[in-house]
Chain A
């Protein structure tokens, strides 16, 4: 073996070793959650990389709690509503901001961007008052409202960038064919914007699905909670015991849908996020 071949192999090995490190770093916590969730509570603190026994008691336990099932249901409603509203408003707003010339267009865009710069804690108390005033306290609708506020700026920006890239003549061709702005958006632009919509929709979904602070602050009773809060509030047999098994089982249950969604849409996400980065 000459030195050249050796260098080549060394490079190969180094490359895959680096990938392995990153994989372990990223995936191991989730993997450990999965194996913890299938251990009986007596084995919880015995360190092992492959569970010796498979035990689904923790899953049975969390699903037997009606409040947890209810929380999943609430999360689904909230997340899907946020995605739907954000995309609907985002598409129509991006048409206006990307296609219609009006005075102060860039100011509006900057204000929208500015909104997303506030940390959640900064607006928490103010938003709390708003939600109380709208009579949405302890109601998933309050969460939908507050999540949409934080999701929309990103959605609008990405979709506006994307909308600006669609050729002007395409819209004019639609106008010549007799299309109204709404028909142009739904029949001509929407089919071309799927990658961007998949990206922004998925990110909005993840944000709404994982959000904790607002969900904790704006809800009071078990029946109105979303999953992140429900997991945090899972209690064990006594005040001195944290029920790690059920917590891990619940975490796995709420993470799996996200993993599946990301795998389904991953190609679209990449093409959506890099759209406009390079021409062609």
Chain B
């Protein structure tokens, strides 16, 4: 177990700047999830920590020492690959023992470690089998076992569940969470699936185009997204965005006007922006209320989706082409073709400036 610190880490492939000035500190025993759209550099960042790629610039610190130039085996990291990458010609036992044997571990110790790892992962019955005779979930467990057997200080997971079917994925997700509770080791997990990120992480790192957008607990990311990108990436269905104009702003709050919704008073501090600045208003689908149309505040319902436990109502936006979404518990009275007005819950409205950064809550509010 160890902490990991990244200081101004950069990675350049030829002309492509993949990772840009990443600063991150991961505490001992934390479960950290890197999440982001494909091509955001999350896997590359994991491979930099593993030692499979070299760091172009910056320092990587594991357990108090800079490990930039150490090969993977000396970093004390274990990795679980997306395709599992089990050695097809070796039995489950040999797969798990391979790394230990290469490290010249005494025979009894190898046996002891493999057996105890197998016990944790319930692989004891399968030790003599070859990977081709295992199911997807079993292979996944062997891959974890192989990474764990050497007792690494940090366990790395590179999209480990993306090859499994949906129900098995939920089951393995639970197993990984329980494993982390039992082992208490530092884990870094890469995924593009926000559900995995939200359910597993102590801390989520949202990456976009090679830089960190926000680091925080799942709760923080959901409730207080620091940027428009994070707000749009976390949460399903995605947050509704509407262009808005700042009417007046003080340190204690602001008033904005959005097309259709009209004027709204919000708790965000608006003193840093000049009157008339164009902003973006963000509201999650569950923080909208639908009421009878009132004057200008009048939206057409274009589609209603019934999901059993909840209902999504899609509305034609005043500007742009992305439909607005309203989510409520089933049953719902709304039907396609009706007209409604939108009433956002001002406690849960987010404001973003033109650069995408969120306006912070006013001092009086954040203290409360």
Interface residues of A (CB under 8 A from B): 167, 169-170, 172-179, 183, 187-188, 191-192
Q: Is the CB of B79 within 8 A of A178?
A: no
Closest A residue to B102 using CB positions: A178
Interface residues of B in 60-114 (CB under 8 A from A): 71-73, 77-79, 81-83, 85-89, 98-99, 102-103
Determine if A176 and B77 form an interchain contact, defined as CB atoms under 8 angstroms apart.
Answer: yes
Task: Tell me the minimal C-beta distance from B67 to chain A in angstroms.
Answer: 14
Tell me whether A173 and B88 are in contact in the complex, defined as CB-CB below 8 angstroms, given that A178-B73, A178-B99, A178-B103 are known contacts: no
Quick check: A169 and B89 within 8 Å, CB to CB? no
A181 to B79 alpha-carbon distance, docked (Å):
18
Q: Tell me the minimal C-beta distance from B102 to chain A in angstroms.
A: 5
Partner of A173, one of B77, B87, B150: B87
Q: Specify which chain B residues have a CB less than 8 angstroms from the CB of A174 in the assembled complex.
A: 87, 98
- Chain A interface main SS type: helix
Q: Which of A169, A174, A178, A191 has the most CB of B within 10 A?
A: A178
Among A167, A179, A183, A187, the residue within 8 A (CB) of B83 is A167
Among A183, A187, A192, the one with the most B-chain Cβ atoms within 10 Å of its Cβ is A187
Q: What is the chain B residue whose CB lies nearest that of A194? A: B89
- Verify B81–A172 contact, CB threshold 8 A: yes
Q: What residue in chain B is nearest A173 (Cβ atoms)?
A: B85
Are A169 and B87 neighbours in the complex by a CB distance under 8 Å? no
Given contacts A176-B147, A177-B99, contact A188 B81 (CB under 8 A): no
- Decide: B89 and A173 in contact? CB cutoff 8 A: no
Bound Cα distance from A188 to B71, whole angstroms:
19
Q: A173-B87, A175-B51, A177-B99 are in contact. List 17 more A-B contacts (CB 8 A).
A: A169-B85, A172-B52, A172-B79, A172-B81, A172-B85, A175-B71, A176-B73, A176-B77, A176-B147, A177-B73, A177-B98, A177-B150, A178-B99, A178-B102, A178-B103, A178-B150, A188-B87
Q: 10 smallest A-B Cβ distances: which pairs?
A: A178-B73, A177-B99, A169-B85, A173-B85, A191-B89, A169-B81, A178-B102, A176-B79, A170-B85, A176-B72
User: Which residue of the partner chain B has the closest CB to A179?
Assistant: B102
> Can you list 30 pairs linking A and B with CB atoms under 8 Å apart?
A167-B83, A169-B81, A169-B82, A169-B83, A172-B52, A172-B81, A173-B85, A173-B86, A173-B146, A174-B87, A175-B52, A176-B52, A176-B78, A176-B99, A176-B147, A177-B73, A177-B98, A177-B102, A177-B150, A178-B71, A178-B72, A178-B73, A178-B102, A178-B103, A178-B150, A179-B98, A179-B102, A187-B98, A191-B89, A192-B89
Binding site for A on B (CB under 8 A): 50-52, 71-73, 77-79, 81-83, 85-89, 98-99, 102-103, 146-147, 150
Across the interface, do B146 and A177 meet the contact criterion of CB distance under 8 Å? yes
Give complex CA distance A73, B72 in Å.
49
Q: Which residues of A contact B87 (CB under 8 A)?
A: 170, 173-174, 188
- For the complex, give the distance between the alpha carbons of A174 and B85 in Å: 9
- Rounded to whole Å, the gap between the CB of A190 and the closest CB of chain B is 9
Chain A residues, CB < 8 A from B71:
175, 178
A167–B85 CA distance with the chains assembled, in angstroms: 8
A187 to B89, CA, bound (A): 10
Residues of B within 8 A of A177 (CB): 73, 98-99, 102, 146, 150
Closest to B75 in A: A176
Chain B residues with CB below 8 A from A172, complex form: 52, 79, 81, 85
B84, chain A: closest CB distance, angstroms: 8
Residue of B nearest to A190 (CB): B89
Q: Which of A167, A170, A175, A188 contacts B72 (CB 8 A)?
A: A175
Task: Name the distance in Å between B224's Cβ and chain A's nearest Cβ.
Answer: 37
> How far is B60's CA from A66's CA once the two chains are assembled, in angstroms?
71
On chain A, the residues within 8 Å of B102 by CB distance are 177-179, 183
Q: Which residue of B lies closest to A175 (CB)?
A: B72
Of all chain B residues, the one with the shortest Cβ separation from A191 is B89
A182 to B300, CA, bound (A): 67
CB distance from B72 to the nearest CB of A (A): 5
- Does the CB pair A192–B82 fall under 8 Å? no
Find B88's partner among A183, A187, A192 (CB 8 Å cutoff). Answer: A192
Complexed CA–CA distance, A179 and B72 (Å): 10
Tell me which of B50, B72, B77, B82 has the highest count of chain A C-beta atoms within 10 A of its own C-beta: B72
Nearest A residue to B89 via CB reads A191
* Chain A residue contacts of B77, Cβ below 8 A: 176
* Residue pair B50, A176 in contact (C-beta under 8 Å): yes
Chain B residues with Cβ below 8 Å from A167 are 83, 85
Q: In the complex, how many angstroms separate the beta carbon of A196 from the nearest chain B beta carbon? A: 14
Residues of A within 8 A of B146 (CB): 173, 177
